[in-house]
Amino acid sequence: MLTQTELQSKLHYEPETGIFTWLKNNKQAGYKNKKGYIVININKKIYRAHRLAWVYMYKTISGCIDHINTITTDNRIVNLRMATLSQNGFNRQLNKNNKSGVKGVYWNSQSKKWIAQLKVNKNKITFGCFSDIELAKIAINEARIKYHGEFANNG
């Protein structure tokens, strides 16, 4: 990772917009990669802009930088926070292949019930089996708040 001094000698970061510009020509830096992140090529190395924003503002970085609103192109400093890998995973949107429409709830064809389940400390915990999906949704959302705290994201 670049040092804060090296970074600030090449780029300007606007914390209110999350946009980087090159100091040498005042042009916007970066492009959106295939995973949906803004990346910037500095000295033939690709850096994710949200990580650069953190270094630019706070000097050091350790661990993950989480996009609070889950929009990976929104690199405003108010939308970024330090997180563990697990916490970063808690703050995910609903998976595209989710069939129930509720994060953490799936249909069990054997029991013919909705199962509410999430990971806690790398272990899957089931919070109930429900005939009504709305009850499963309430149970999983309450569990997510309890176990995931400020990183809870109901999708």
**113 - beta bridge partners?**
108
CATH class entry, domain 4-83: alpha beta
Give per-residue burial for 109-120: e unless 16+ CB within 10 Å, then b: eeeebbbbbbee
* 7 CB-side CA count, 13 A: 24
Beta-carbon count within 10 A of 37 CB: 19
Which phi and psi (to 5°) does residue 127 adopt? -105, 10
Hey, is 51 helix, strand or coil? helix
Calculate the CA dihedral of residues 3, 92, 142, 82 and round it to 10 degrees: 0
Q: Which fold, 92-151?
A: GCC-box Binding Domain (3.30.730)
Query: 85: which DSSP letter?
Result: H
Write out the chain's pLDDT in tens, 155 residues: 899 999 999 999 999 999 999 999 999 999 999 999 999 999 999 999 999 999 999 999 888 999 999 999 999 999 999 999 989 999 999 998 999 999 999 999 999 999 999 988 889 999 999 999 999 999 999 999 999 999 999 98
Sequence ranges of the chain with CATH classification 3.30.730.10: 92-151
Sequence ranges of the chain with CATH classification 3.90.75.20: 4-83
